[in-house]
């Protein structure tokens, strides 16, 4: 009797076991399939196959045209403009970036006009052709703001730039800060091709400060049209030990990096002070190491942000400040560490 | 599905269910995986499609440019027609293109291409119109503008194509790798699921074969003679469940049948045995009786003649004596094969004592202590007289003191107690045991006996009442008298005795 009861119990347990087995295997099957597929999906996503086409659309499309020189600077400006734009339902395109050919600013401007963008942010030139194109754009209803370099004769809506004179004075003060008794000569690296007006204002700012300290200011114009000229020119200056300046002032990032690299390569660190431009990572590192005395940076993200703000404001109100100045900031070794 | 429902499935249904279930799982997993691969392929395919359409767009744009140039160059109407046609086609392409400012660079380029193309078409239209209007200055300028834009668009298309192709190549590599992953993952999943299915199938088949094995084992036991096997009730109502239940019914009914058969055989043989014993005793008694008498009718007639003769001679005592003798013998003849009432038996004892007292001139003092209400109780005939005869012959004959025999009938809790007591020589324990076991043979030649021994009496009493302790002999030992006790069970007091009933049953 007891055995029978046991058997019966076993039977019932057997029935339940089957049910449990069915359900648990369904669950396990679903789970393992889900897990496997989830693993697969993450693997694919890691590899980037599933194109995450966010495809977020914006109400307006602005073009940022800056040419291809000094990428550090313009990357940062673009970053500021893009972030600001996204807050205002504007997408800012770094115009021409994906094209296989290097187009000039003027050609890119033509394209932007043809592409009927909603606004143009332009590093302008002072030439008449650019001015005419800016006028053509504004005539076609596309507002244009110039940035860093102005086209004052054009119908551009606004200029976002820096006070070059005070910018130059800042440079001068840094030279004084770095100077000891033996300081007698400072070399300023300039562009040969143009944008002459801004350069000259900066230079006069520097001279204003250094003349008072009886330090001679020399300039070296570098031909930007031929490739790699910057690096060669700076090297020549440093190799020439007799006429070597006590300090070199660089007005752009490329010059700054070249000067720094030349010092390191030629083992002249400490003999020549560099007052650099901009706060790219390489430059910041050099400041930290003490190879570059200090850098003066334009708040580039702010600059980009102002450009977008100016365009948005103009679009909204039909009016905007003709000149907007961006802060500049000094980065010394102590600040660089931070 | 509930347990109840499942239990009602037949094996066939169960098997079908298992295999369907297993197939569905594997099928589902495969389906899911193929859909995954397909969606991945679709991503690639989409980009390739856009590549192709971009190439077509570039082709049509070239046609527009060529036909415009041709028209401006030759002013041929065929070229104009071609220009309008290709312009129309080009426009239709543009309608499908993205016009929104999008984060995605490809979409953004598409927008730029679209807008530049619209600009280009306007410029081209202006050029063509100016050519018609012979505005040489204007059409030349517009043509140059259009050509510039044309080149920009071509660059853009080329660039976008390039970008997409690069992406596609990347994606293709990734897809290859991901397909490898998918292969491994799919294999693992299918492997696990197959293992699960096997376990599941084992469970199921177990649920089918376990009752079968149990059934086979039970059948073996039954074959080995053990009919007390009862299969556990399976909760399955499948084929095996049905067979199990039938098996259970079969064993139960076989068991019942065998039990009935055994019982009826037993009772039959018991009855036959009893009948035989009874018959033997009757035969024995009758034989003894026949030996003891010679033509009783002649004896009665003779005795009756003697009674009449005594009356005529006015010898009253002699008359009574002879009459009692006649009664005694008549009773003997009549009653030997039947049972009798206690009253008849006691009357017989009285006749016997009277005869004996006449014979031995009043030596025996016989006393009765009788509950009159019990006198109708039935007992086998010729029981009391042989006992009293024994008390006379072996108890009080030849003793120095006055002999006394007491007969008492009283009711007890369990029935009626008959006690015959004498104050004679008594019996040793040994003799009592011998008498009780029937080992003491009475001498047949005893001239004072009517021929029925104690052994016979005891046997008949036991048979009649169907119990062993109906008869008891007690004695205080030599010279301390003997006491015989007959306990009649209550069931034997009136009507048919138990033994009679049993015998009747058997003979039916």
CATH number of the domain within which B396 lies: 3.30.565.10
Segment B282-295, tens digit of pLDDT: 877 776 766 565 56
**Token reading at A281:** 């990572």
Is B238 contained in some domain? no
What is the pLDDT of chain B when averaged over all its residues?
81
A15 in contact with chain B, both atoms CB, cutoff 8 A = yes
Q: Does A31 touch chain B (CB under 8 A)?
A: no
Q: Shortest CB distance from A29 goes to which of B25, B178, B181?
A: B25
Mean pLDDT of A187-206: 79
d(CA A113, CA B380): 148
Q: Which of residues 104-123 of A touch B (CB under 8 A)?
A: 110-111, 114-118
Last residue of a domain, one of B160, B182, B217: B217
Q: Does A37 touch chain B (CB under 8 A)?
A: yes
Give pLDDT tens digits for A136-160: 999 999 999 998 888 888 889 999 9
Measure B184 CA to nearest chain A CA, in Å. 10
3-state secondary structure of B314: coil
Query: Using CA atoms, how far apart are residues A251 and A271, in angstroms rounded to an integer?
Result: 20
Q: Which residues, at least 6 apart from B46, have a Cβ–Cβ distance to it below 8 Å?
A: none
Question: Do A257 and A279 meet the contact criterion of CB atoms below 8 Å apart?
Answer: no
Q: Which of residues 78-107 of A touch B (CB under 8 A)?
A: 90-91, 93, 98-101
Tell me the ipTM for this assembly: 0.72
Does the beta-carbon distance from A44 to B178 stay under 8 Å? yes
Of the ranges A46-60, A185-199, A232-246, which one carries the lowest mean pLDDT score? Answer: A46-60
For every residue of B120-183, which 3-state class applies, written as one string? HHHHHHHHHHHHHCCCHHHHHHHHHHHHHHHHHHHHHHHHHHHHHHHHHHHHHHHHHHHHHHHH
Q: Select from B36, B206, B232 the Cβ nearest to the Cβ of A37.
A: B36
Task: Please check whether residue A49 touches B, CB under 8 A.
Answer: yes
Whole-number Å distance between alpha carbons of B12 and B9: 8
Strand partners, A328: A298
Candidates B3, B118, B199; nearest CB to A21:
B199
Q: How far is CA B424 from CA A76, A263, B403, B477, in A?
A: 151, 162, 7, 10
DSSP label of A157: S
B59 in the same domain as B202? yes
Cβ contacts (< 8 Å) between A29 and chain B: which residues?
Answer: 25, 29, 192-193, 196
With a pLDDT cut of 90, the percent of chain B lying above it is: 14
Tell me: pLDDT of B266 over 90: yes
φ, ψ of residue A272 in degrees (nearest 5): -125, 130
**Which is more confidently placed, A41 or B412?**
B412
Q: Which of B217, B248, B275 is the last residue of a domain?
A: B217
CA atoms within 13 A on the CB side of B275: 13
Q: How far B467 CA sits from the closest chain A CA (Å)?
A: 38
- Write out chain B residues lying below 8 Å of A22, CB-based: 21, 200
Give exposure, B295-310, as e/b (b: 16+ Cβ within 10 Å).
ebeebbeebeebbeeb
Split at pLDDT 50, 70, 90, the class of B506 is very low
Q: Which residue has the tokens 């293109």?
A: B97
Residue of A nearest to B120 (CA): A114
Q: Token digits for A183?
A: 């300081």
Minimal CA separation from B73 to chain A, in Å: 25
CA–CA separation, A292 vs A336, rounded Å? 11
Cα gap B432→B480, rounded to integer Å:
14
Cβ of A56: how many Cβ atoms within 10 Å?
14
B7 to chain A: which residues are within 8 Å by CB?
15
Residue B242 lies in a domain: no
CB-CB under 8 Å, B3 with A19: yes
Q: How far is B146 from chain A (nearest CA, A)?
A: 10
How would you class B421 by CB atoms within 10 Å of its CB: exposed for 0-12, middle for 13-18, buried for 19 or more?
A: buried
Q: Give the residue from B212, B232, B237, B240 with the most A CB atoms within 10 Å of its CB, the best one to mutate.
A: B232
Closest CB to A49 among B6, B112, B178: B178
**Is B102–A58 a contact, with Cβ atoms under 8 angstroms apart?**
yes
Angle at A160 between CA A159 and CA A162, to 5 degrees: 120
Q: Which domain holds residue B345?
A: 336-507
For residue B3, is it left (φ>0), alpha (ψ between -120 and 50) or beta? alpha
B102: closest CA of chain A, how far (Å): 4
Give the three-class secondary structure for A68. coil
Residue B107 sits in a domain of what CATH number? 1.20.120.1730
Mean pLDDT rounded to a whole number for chain A = 82
Minimum distance, in Å, between the CA of residue B343 and any CA atom of chain A: 59
- B446 — pLDDT class (breaks 50, 70, 90): very low
Q: Are A92 and A60 in contact (CB under 8 A)?
A: no
Q: What pLDDT score does B204 carry?
A: 76
Judge if B49 and B197 occupy the same domain. Answer: yes
| A26 CB-contact burial (10 Å; exposed 0-12 / middle 13-18 / buried 19+) | middle
* A16 contacts in chain B (CB < 8 Å): 3
Q: Is residue B378 part of a domain?
A: yes
- Domain end marker among B175, B195, B217: B217
Burial profile B440-471: b = 16 or more Cβ within 10 angstroms, e = fewer: eebeeeeeebbbbbbbbbbbbbbbbbbbeebb
State how far residue B179 is from chain A, nearest Cα, in angstroms.
10
User: Sign of the CA dihedral B341, B347, B351, B356?
Assistant: positive
- How far apart CA A330 and CA A294 sit, in angstroms, is 7
- Asked, for residue B386, whether it belongs to a domain, the answer is yes
> Among B75-84, B294-303, B307-316, which stretch is predicted with the lowest mean pLDDT?
B294-303
A-B C-beta contacts closer than 8 Å: 162
Higher pLDDT, B502 or B397: B397
Q: What are B350-374's pLDDT values in tens digits?
A: 888 888 888 877 778 889 999 888 8
Q: Pick left, alpha or beta for residue B332 (phi over 0 → left; psi -120 to 50 → alpha; otherwise beta).
A: alpha
Pairing of strands A294-298, A328-332: antiparallel
In this predicted structure, the answer to whether residue A323 has a pLDDT above a threshold of 60 is yes
- Are the Cβ atoms of B174 and A44 closer than 8 angstroms? yes
Spatial separation of the C-alpha atoms in residues B133 and B115, rounded to whole Å: 27
Q: Which residue of A has its CA nearest to B119?
A: A114
Residues of A in contact with B181 (CB under 8 A): 40, 43-44
Determine contact: A5 vs chain B, CB below 8 A.
yes
Distance from CA of A154 to the nearest CA of B (A): 21
Residue A139 confidence (pLDDT) = 92
Tell me how many domains chain B contains: 2
Contacts of A5 in chain B (CB under 8 A): 232
In B, minimum Cα distance to A91 occurs at: B101
pLDDT above 70 for A74 = yes
CB contact under 8 A, A91 and B108: yes
Kindly state whether residue B222 falls inside one of the protein's structural domains: no
- Residue B7, pLDDT score: 52
B184, containing H or E segment: helix B136-223
Q: CB-CB: which of B3, B111, B193 is closest to A15?
A: B3
Mean pLDDT, residues A303-320 taken together: 91
User: Do residue A115 and residue B175 have CB atoms under 8 angstroms apart?
Assistant: no
The closest CB to that of B207, out of A18, A58, A111, belongs to A18
pLDDT of residue B4: 42
Region A259-267: mean pLDDT is 87
CB under 8 A, 24+ apart: contacts of B167-174? B167/A51, B167/B47, B168/B44, B168/B47, B168/B48, B168/B51, B170/A48, B171/A49, B171/A51, B171/B43, B171/B44, B171/B47, B172/B44, B174/A44, B174/A47, B174/A48, B174/A49
Which is more confident, B260 or B284? B260
Which residues of chain A neighbour B196 with C-beta distances below 8 Å? 25, 28-29
Residue B202, helix vs strand vs coil: helix
Cβ neighbour number for residue A283 with a 10 Å cutoff: 25
pLDDT value for B224: 84
pLDDT at A212: 83
Q: Which residues of B touch A51 (CB under 8 A)?
A: 43, 47, 167, 171
Question: What is the pLDDT averaged over residues A254-277?
Answer: 86
Instruction: Tell me, yes or no, whether B32 lies in a domain.
Output: yes
Question: Is A136 an 8 Å CB contact of chain B?
Answer: no
What residues of chain A lie within 8 A of the CB of B28, using their CB?
A: 33
Report the alpha-carbon angle B435-B440-B444, nearest 5. Answer: 125
């Amino acid at each position: 009797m007891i055995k029978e009861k046991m058997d019966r119990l076993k039977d019932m347990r057997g029935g339940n076991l089957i049910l449990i087995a069915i359900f648990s295997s369904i669950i396990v099957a679903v789970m393992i399939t889900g897990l496997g597929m989830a693993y697969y999906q993450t693997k694919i996503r890691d590899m980037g196959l599933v194109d995450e086409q966010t495809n977020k659309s914006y109400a307006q499309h602005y073009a940022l045209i800056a040419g291809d020189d000094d990428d550090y600077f313009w990357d940062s400006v673009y970053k500021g403009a893009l972030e600001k734009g996204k807050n205002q339902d504007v997408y800012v395109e770094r115009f021409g970036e994906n094209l296989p050919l290097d187009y000039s600013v003027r050609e890119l401007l033509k394209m932007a006009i043809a592409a009927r963008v909603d606004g143009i942010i332009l590093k302008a030139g002072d030439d008449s052709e650019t001015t005419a194109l800016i006028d053509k754009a504004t005539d076609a209803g596309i507002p244009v703001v110039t940035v860093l370099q102005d086209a004052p004769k054009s119908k551009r809506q606004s200029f976002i730039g820096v006070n070059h004179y005070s910018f130059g004075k800042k440079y001068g003060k840094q030279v004084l800060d770095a100077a000891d008794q033996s300081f007698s000569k400072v070399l300023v690296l300039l562009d040969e091709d143009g944008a002459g007006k801004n350069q000259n204002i900066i230079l006069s700012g520097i001279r204003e400060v250094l003349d008072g300290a009886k330090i001679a200011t020399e300039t070296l114009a570098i031909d930007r049209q031929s490739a790699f000229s910057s690096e060669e020119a700076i090297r020549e200056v440093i190799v020439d030990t007799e006429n070597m300046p006590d300090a070199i002032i660089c007005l752009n990032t490329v010059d700054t990096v070249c000067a720094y690299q030349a010092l390191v390569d030629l083992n002249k660190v400490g003999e020549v002070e560099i007052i650099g431009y901009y706060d790219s990572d390489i430059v910041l590192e050099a400041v930290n190491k003490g190879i570059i005395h200090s850098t003066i940076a334009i708040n580039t993200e702010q600059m980009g942000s102002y450009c977008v703000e100016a365009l948005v404001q103009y679009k909204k109100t039909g009016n905007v400040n003709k000149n907007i100045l961006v802060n500049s900031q000094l980065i010394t070794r102590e600040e660089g560490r931070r | 599905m509930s347990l109840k429902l499942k239990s009602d499935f037949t094996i066939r249904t169960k098997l079908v269910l298992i295999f369907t279930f297993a197939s569905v799982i594997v099928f589902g997993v495969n389906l899911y995986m193929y859909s995954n691969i397909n969606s991945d392929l679709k991503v690639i395919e989409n980009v390739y499609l856009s590549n192709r359409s971009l190439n077509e767009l570039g082709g049509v744009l070239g046609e527009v440019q060529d036909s415009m140039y041709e028209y401006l160059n030759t002013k041929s109407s065929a070229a104009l027609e071609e220009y309008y046609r290709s312009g129309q086609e080009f426009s239709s392409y543009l309608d499908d293109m993205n016009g929104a400012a999008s984060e995605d660079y490809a979409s953004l380029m598409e927008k730029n291409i679209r807008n530049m193309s619209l600009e280009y078409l306007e410029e081209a239209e202006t050029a063509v119109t100016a050519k018609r209007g012979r505005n040489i200055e204007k059409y030349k300028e517009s043509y140059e503008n259009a050509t510039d834009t044309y080149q920009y668009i071509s660059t853009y298309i080329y660039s976008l194509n390039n970008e997409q192709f690069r992406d596609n190549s990347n994606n293709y590599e990734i897809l290859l790798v991901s397909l490898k992953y998918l292969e491994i993952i799919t294999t693992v999943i299918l492997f696990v699921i197959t293992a699960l299915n096997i376990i599941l199938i084992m469970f199921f088949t177990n649920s089918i074969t376990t009752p079968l094995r149990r059934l086979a084992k039970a059948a073996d036991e039954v074959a080995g003679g053990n009919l007390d096997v009862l299969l556990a009730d399976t909760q399955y109502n499948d084929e095996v469940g049905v067979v199990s239940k039938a098996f259970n019914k079969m064993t139960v009914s076989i068991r019942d049948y065998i039990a009935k058969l055994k019982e009826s055989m037993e009772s039959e043989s018991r009855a036959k045995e009893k009948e035989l014993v009874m018959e033997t005793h009757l035969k024995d008694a009758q034989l003894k009786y026949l030996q003891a008498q010679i033509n009783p009718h002649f004896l009665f007639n003779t005795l009756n003649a003697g009674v009449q003769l005594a009356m005529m001679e006015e010898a009253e005592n002699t008359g009574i004596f002879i009459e009692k003798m006649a009664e005694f013998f008549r009773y003997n003849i009549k009653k030997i094969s039947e049972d009798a009432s206690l009253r008849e038996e006691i009357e017989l004892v009285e006749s016997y004592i009277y005869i004996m007292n006449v014979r031995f001139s009043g030596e025996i003092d016989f006393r009765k202590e009788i509950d009159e209400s019990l006198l109708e109780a039935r007992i086998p005939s010729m029981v009391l007289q042989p006992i009293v005869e024994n008390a006379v012959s072996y108890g009080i004959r030849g003793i120095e003191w006055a002999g006394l025999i007491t007969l008492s009938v009283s009711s007890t809790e369990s029935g009626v107690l008959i006690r015959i007591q004498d104050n004679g020589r008594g019996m040793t324990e040994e003799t009592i045991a011998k008498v009780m076991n029937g080992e003491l043979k009475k001498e047949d030649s005893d001239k004072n006996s009517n021929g029925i021994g104690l052994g016979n009496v005891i046997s008949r009493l036991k048979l009649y009442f169907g119990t062993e302790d109906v008869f008891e002999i007690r004695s205080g030992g030599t010279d301390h008298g003997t006491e015989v006790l007959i306990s009649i069970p209550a069931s034997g007091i009136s009507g048919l005795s138990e033994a009679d009933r049993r015998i009747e049953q058997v003979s039916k």
